[in-house]
């Protein structure tokens, strides 16, 4: 079970929802988890991991601040001597129908969901290439695969992550760094919590497995891709969506 003993993992968006579950499960498998969020928001995740006997430290990071992101990755590599796993999970929505979408709704979503992943991956590749080992896992969305009315900005950012990771996988495979994407379906978190119960019931009715996903469903897929068992898997999109899109 402790297949990630000795690994150092950075998880963005680790204060709640999917990122918090990923941080917990990675730590439960033995990794030292750097749990990142804005302000002191990841403190609760770190305390809960410590209470469960795992190892974690909080990191204050606004992912759209490129200089801060690069410095954060360099700091981890300096403090711990390595960085084995990057989970680029922080993400936002700014939903609006296209004709009403503001340019800032587009820019904010692309900056947080896509450009921040580019910056973090570029920084993380330096220690990973030096180590001749690494795991990069980006959290996309079923919406990036199938599209969704009212989410043109979000779908573009999440589809962009897929093309980005597939390209990166081809560039760094020779250094034994794998790059994969997890594409969740609808998952019960703060992000979906803003949607009314009737809409959520409508989603569940379209899902062959009959329910929304849980953060732990997504975290289990991330842990698999981070493990040694997944060392021959790269450039893939692992859909964790209850069968709603195949
Ligand atoms: P969530 O509950 O809204 O949590 C979002 C996380 O991202 C928080 O930890 C938040 O940290 C962090 N974050 C947002 N903007 C940030 C920024 N500018 N700088 C640093 N951190 C930032 O979301 P979630 O549902 O867990 O979603 C996690 C990921 O899964 C996202 O990429 C999302 O697009 C994707 N996803 C979610 C679903 C779903 O149904 N929930 C489905 C498919 C994909 P703070 O504490 O600092 O706010």
Condensed to tens digits (0 to 9), the pLDDT of residues 149-176 reads: 999 999 999 999 999 999 999 999 999 9
Give dist(CA 70, CA 168) in Å, integer. Answer: 18
**Residue-level pLDDT at 193:** 87
pLDDT-derived band at 195 (thresholds 50, 70, 90) equals confident
Condensed to tens digits (0 to 9), the pLDDT of residues 84-102 reads: 999 999 999 999 999 999 9
Task: Please compute the mean of the pLDDT values over residues 212-235 and round it to a whole number.
Answer: 98
Mutate to test the pocket of ligand 1, among 11, 12, 18 (most ligand atoms within 8 A of CB): 18
In a domain, 62, yes or no: yes
- How many domains does one find in the chain? 1
Q: Could you list the residue range(s) of the whole structural domain that residue 113 is in?
A: 8-237
Residue 236 half-sphere exposure, CB side, CA atoms within 13 Å? 15
**Rounded to whole angstroms, what are the CA distances from 81 to 34, 60, 73, 84, 186?**
13, 20, 11, 10, 37
Condensed to tens digits (0 to 9), the pLDDT of residues 13-50 reads: 999 999 999 999 999 999 999 999 999 999 999 999 99
**Residue-level pLDDT at 41:** 98
**Residue-level pLDDT at 2:** 61
In a domain, 244, yes or no: no
The CB of 144 under 6 Å from ligand 1? The reply is no
In a domain, 3, yes or no: no
Condensed to tens digits (0 to 9), the pLDDT of residues 98-120 reads: 999 999 999 999 999 999 999 99
In a domain, 246, yes or no: no
**How much distance in Å is there from the Cα of 174 to the middle of ligand 1?**
31
**Residue-level pLDDT at 194:** 81
In a domain, 116, yes or no: yes
- pTM of the complete model: 0.98
Please state the three-class secondary structure of the chain as a single string: CCCCCCCEEEECCCCCHHHHHHHHHHHHCCCEEEEEECCCCCHHHHHHHHHCCCEEEEEECCCCCHHHHHHHHHHHHHHHCCCCEEEECCCCCCCCCHHHCCHHHHHHHHHHHHHHHHHHHHHHHHHHHHHCCEEEEEECCHHHHHCCCCCHHHHHHHHHHHHHHHHHHHHHHHHCEEEEEEEECCECCHHHHCCCHHHHHHHHHCCCCCCCECHHHHHHHHHHHHCHHHCCCCCCEEEECCCCCC
In a domain, 242, yes or no: no
**How much distance in Å is there from the Cα of 16 to the middle of ligand 1?**
8
Condensed to tens digits (0 to 9), the pLDDT of residues 207-216 reads: 999 999 999 9
Mutate to test the pocket of ligand 1, among 91, 120, 157, 217 (most ligand atoms within 8 A of CB): 91
Nearest to 77 by CA among 31, 126, 14: 126
In a domain, 46, yes or no: yes
Give dist(CA 54, CA 14) in Å, integer. Answer: 15
CATH number for the domain spanning 89: value is: 3.40.50.720
Instruction: Give how far the C-alpha of residue 102 lies from the chain's centroid of Cα atoms, to the nearest Å.
Output: 26
Task: Please compute the mean of the pLDDT values over residues 64-82 and round it to a whole number.
Answer: 98
**Residue-level pLDDT at 1:** 52
In a domain, 15, yes or no: yes
Instruction: Tell me what the pLDDT averaged over the chain comes to.
Output: 97
Beta-sheet pairing, 32-37 with 55-60: parallel
């Amino acid at each position: 079970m402790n297949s990630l003993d000795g690994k150092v993992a950075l998880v963005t968006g680790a204060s709640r929802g999917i990122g918090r579950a990923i941080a917990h499960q990675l730590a439960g498998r033995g990794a030292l988890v750097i749990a990142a969020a804005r302000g002191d928001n990841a403190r609760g995740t770190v305390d809960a991991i410590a209470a469960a006997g795992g190892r974690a430290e909080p990191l204050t990071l606004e992912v759209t601040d490129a200089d801060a992101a690069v410095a954060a990755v360099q700091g981890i590599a300096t403090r711990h001597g390595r960085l084995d796993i990057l989970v680029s999970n922080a993400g936002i929505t700014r939903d609006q129908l296209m004709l009403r979408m503001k340019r800032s709704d587009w820019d904010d979503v692309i900056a947080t969901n896509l450009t921040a992943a580019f910056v973090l991956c570029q920084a993380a590749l330096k220690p990973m290439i030096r180590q001749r080992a690494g795991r990069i896992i980006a959290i996309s969305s079923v919406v990036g695969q199938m599209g969704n009315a009212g989410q043109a900005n979000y779908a573009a950012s999440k589809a962009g992550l897929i093309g980005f990771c597939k390209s990166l996988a081809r560039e760094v495979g020779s250094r034994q760094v794998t790059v994969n994407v997890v594409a969740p379906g609808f998952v019960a978190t703060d992000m979906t919590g803003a949607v009314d119960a009737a809409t959520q019931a409508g989603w569940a009715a379209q899902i062959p497995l009959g329910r929304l996903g849980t953060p732990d469903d997504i975290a289990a897929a991330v842990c698999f891709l981070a493990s040694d068992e997944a060392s021959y898997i790269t450039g893939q999109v692992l859909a964790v969506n209850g069968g709603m899109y195949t």
